[in-house]
Amino acid sequence: MSFVIGVVLFALGIAISIALHEAGHLLTAKAFGMRVRRYFIGFGPTIFSFRRGETEYGLKAIPAGGFCDIAGMTALDEVAPEERPRAFFRKPTWQRVVVLSAGSAMHFLIGMLLIFVLAVTAGLPNAGDLAVAGQVSCAANQDPVTGKLQPCGPGVPTPAADAGVQAGDRILSVAGTPVATWPDAVAAIQAAAGPTQIVVQRDGREVPLTVDVAPVQRVDARTGQVRTVGAIGLAQQLVFAYGPMAAVPATVDYTGVMFSNVWTGLGMFPEKIPRLIDAIGGGVRDENSPVSVVGASIIGGDAAERGLWSLFVLLLAMLNFFVGVFNLLPLLPLDGGHIAVNLYERVRDWTRARLGKATMPPVDYTRLLPLTYAVILVGGAISLLTLTADIVNPIRPFE
């Protein structure tokens, strides 16, 4: 039951994001005095609608998007004489770009709000893999059969605790070697033996500590062989909690990490298509595979079923960042394509004015239709592939 609730809640979150995307266009267009004819969520047959002022608001049967109909959005749009003074194309370029960008801006605001709420409630993941101390325990051997660390007890050394290492300390250097990430710190500690100086950052100041690194047995993940390495009995802090004030810069930083992940994912997208086709035929579907709204909702449902609400919120935030960035790509019919056309017109007219030439009419969108149809065809094919894979071979990361 909790899985179904999770899927419904995630789908509802997507629907709200779509509504707010279109609301971004609506509110900015009205703020600049543009004529907004219709604001609808969904496509297809109208379920209900009502008119307030000059704008018709409503809900359609297919919840796969939405639209905000602004008079004069393109040169193809028929504009009534009474609409012409307030048509989109009559407004300054900067106002048009703001209106076109407002949908993506709403996605970014939603994502940042979700991250902020998560920061002040459950905390944010250690996205940078920082070398920050979590639980201070013991330097135990690893069971070569089960792979688990043996329990702490009498006679098991506790080097980190004995040296005064505290949860929240950030390790800056080990034996004089600077470390930036947790893997760096682990590698340096495993290579050390006996009394070793470790410098940590605590409450904004550097604190030097001498830790008696203990020899322990560990199973090499690559070879499966047992080897002796150094250990101090310290786990990494995986989640950081913040107060309302500290959560603001933390939200900005984490947003930067998520944007970086989105750009990386978009750059790697073409090479994922063959694996997506293979997954439809029963191949392995990994967690880096593209997902549709259906696939994302399934993952959200799995997270909710296991009580992983932090992951649920992060997935919804990431989806908003992805949609926001994707929508700004300079391709028609995306908002980014319309922005590119409007900026082109502005640069073109500015250049012609400097050369003493007359201003040209708006770009003829009919000449861009072949490219637009190609984008729609490719995008539709990829969407169909992804949706099919999510139905026949969904990603279930917790199974």
pLDDT 10s digits, 114-126: 999 999 999 999 9
Annotated active-site residue in 22, 206, 305, 399: 22
Mean pLDDT of 136-157: 86
The three-class DSSP label of residue 381 is: helix
The stretch 327-336 carries a mean pLDDT of 92
Q: Which residue has the higher pLDDT, 189 or 395?
A: 189
Q: How far is CA 225 from CA 137, 145, 185, 230, 274, in A?
A: 24, 11, 22, 16, 36
* Arithmetic mean of pLDDT, 163-178: 92
Higher-confidence residue: 267 or 170?
A: 170
Q: Residue range 211-233: average pLDDT?
A: 87
The per-residue pLDDT for 247 is 94
pLDDT for the residue numbered 399: 64
Q: Please, what sign has the CA dihedral across residues 301, 306, 309, 312?
A: negative
Q: Residue 223: its pLDDT value, please?
A: 79
CA 270 to centroid of chain Cα atoms: 19
For the chain, the average pLDDT equals 89
Residue of 225 and 35 predicted with greater confidence: 35
Average confidence (pLDDT) over 209-231: 87
Give catalytic status of residue 22 as yes or no.
Answer: yes
Q: 95 near 32, Cβ under 8 Å?
A: yes
Mean pLDDT of 308-325: 92
**Omega into 249 within 30° of 0, i.e. cis?**
no
Provide the percentage of residues in the chain whose pLDDT is more than 70: 99
